Structure 1
Amino acid sequence: MGNSTLHRSWWTVRESDGPVVRTRNLRKRYPGGTEALAGIDVDINAGEVRALLGPNGAGKTTLVRVLTTLLPPTSGTAVVNGWDVVTKGDEVRASVGVAGQYAAVDGLLTGLENLHLIAKLRGMRRRAARRAAEEMLARFRLELKANQLVSTYSGGTRRRVDLAAALLGNPPVVILDEPTTGLDPESRLDVWESIGGLTAAGTTVLLTTQYLEEADRLADRVTVVDHGRIVAEGTTDELKSAAGLTRLVLRLADGHSLAAAAAAVADATGSAPEVEPRIRRIAATTADGPAALAIVLSTVDKEAIVEIGVQRPTLDDVFLRLTARQEVRA
């Protein structure tokens, strides 16, 4: 496919008005019998950020490789931007910006040269390609390193160049496999801001991540995968509510009554509390936070309590509960 064809297909109107990414009964079995995807059904709408969560080996990266045409599915269907990943691979590749788990940039080129090359491969003319490359360098605060060889970059800086390459040309679909791994907090915030800007312009984003804070902050919806299957899906609020657990948190003025307070919390919540003696903090999960709170307040000396409250489960709690349950079933 020549550059002009690639440029036209990049902006081609989608073949359908349905979800931008759709899979049905998608399966991938590797030689030896390992089934990395065991019947995945996913719908991702235009302008949505979908986070894909799961423990190592859950099938997240395999799904990304199938959606980006790097791996053929064993069976089932996958459609990206209206194009089937098996029969319309060129059109899929022309519609998607991708950043894999590891930076795929050329160490023998400068940051500017890397992005300029990618922009030209996208079908941009020379001047437009250079302008786009310079804009992406500015977005990721890489101007000062633009003319240095990428081989001299730190791992985090190299990752930022890789992400900039994935976003060149504002593709309609961006797939990011653990996009902020190895980045310092400031660079991570830059990436989050860039992702927010993409969706504001209507771009659809699928990201895998090990940072649950990242999913909580960015995702419109979250899909939790384990053993190649979807075990939960919804907004972060829906997943937290479905977890059905709250946390009772208690902090004491001194450590003298810590053991007695921990026993009271255990009786009130019906679960083993987490005790942090250094900060005199006790926490436990409970199905009925208000009732447990009332019992503790009636049992523990109020003068000894510095802080007490009931917290909703975090996305970490939801993730651990879902994947732990799957491990038991397996």
Structure 2
Amino acid sequence: MKPLYVLNDVHIGVTRSAGTTPTSAYALRQRIIERFGELLEQQVGNCHLLINGDLFDEYQIPQHDLLKTYMLLTAWLADYEDASLTLGLGNHDLSKDSTKLSSAEFLGHLLERAYPDRVQVVKGSAALRDGMYMISHVPNQDLFDMELEAVPEGTTYLFLHANYDNGFAAESDHSLNVSEEQARKLADRGVTLVFGHEHQGKQALGGKVLIVGNQIPSSVADCLGNSEKFMLRITDTGPELEAVWFAHQDFARVDWEDLASYQGDAMFIRVEGKADAAQAADVVSVISKFRSKSSAFVVTNAVRIGETDVGEDLKITAEDVRSFDVLGALVDLLTEEEGAVVKSELEKSNAQ
């Protein structure tokens, strides 16, 4: 069997604002594309590459980044005549408006047209090869649950772009979830579930749930909680994780009082430590000056002021905010009759 390599959550075209300057944010964007090209050449080679969602950071990315990605993939396909590509679409790759063609879909159409026998784009579900099956991001949880129920018999590897056992994501249309019960049901059939979407790698159910984690960090949050990041390779002998990123080379935690004298070359820096209220302005000033001179991509403020953590390194992400169901939360606070009135008025407003 030709080896299958799995990349996920590359997020080409990402634009970070927190912890960056305009110059460092642009440098990070370019580095992600460069690193993607390096992985194609150094790790993948003459193999089958599966991109398990979120090749791009938004449904529309800068044309420069789109063109560069196209050039990298076509050069790789041209260099390796037996190479093949499966492009699975993730939630960041698609617009919530189904009438809009995303950058990832556009790229997929171009690649399929240029290499019809070697490129496959998955939007929905599709059989891949050798008992492998894929479900991409779909518009909502109900459709996703239907796709999970329809996974064919004989599937040995199921590739998904979703959360695993995350109750907060279960009701969010832009972030899907596989419950532990659903995973067990599939695992009992001999299926190994391989997840994209979550950026931190982990395993569950005795290895039958394999969350690979992303390979190329684009934020300080991506660097937390792991000393390495891995690319997945599947061969006749089973799945193997190959380290492609190391925290000690790229990530540093620095106390704010030591920041002025920091001489390291980490590209992602989390500024930590404690300060009292009178020092709060000093913390902001020190970090701001460091950012303006540093070559690091991202420098986040996680300093605790007194008993309050007011840093930028928040636990909630922008995607969490976008996917929060405001109407659902409001209705939960109302009586059944009040909720019915609110929904009725919104329906009238939307109809106008």
TM beyond 0.5: no
The TM-score range, normalised by the shorter chain, is 0.3 to 0.5
Q: Given the two structures, how large is their TM-score scaled by the length of structure 2?
A: 0.34
TM-score scaled by length of structure 1: 0.35
Bigger Rg over Cα: 1
More relative contact order, 1 or 2 (CA 8 Å, 6+ apart) = 1
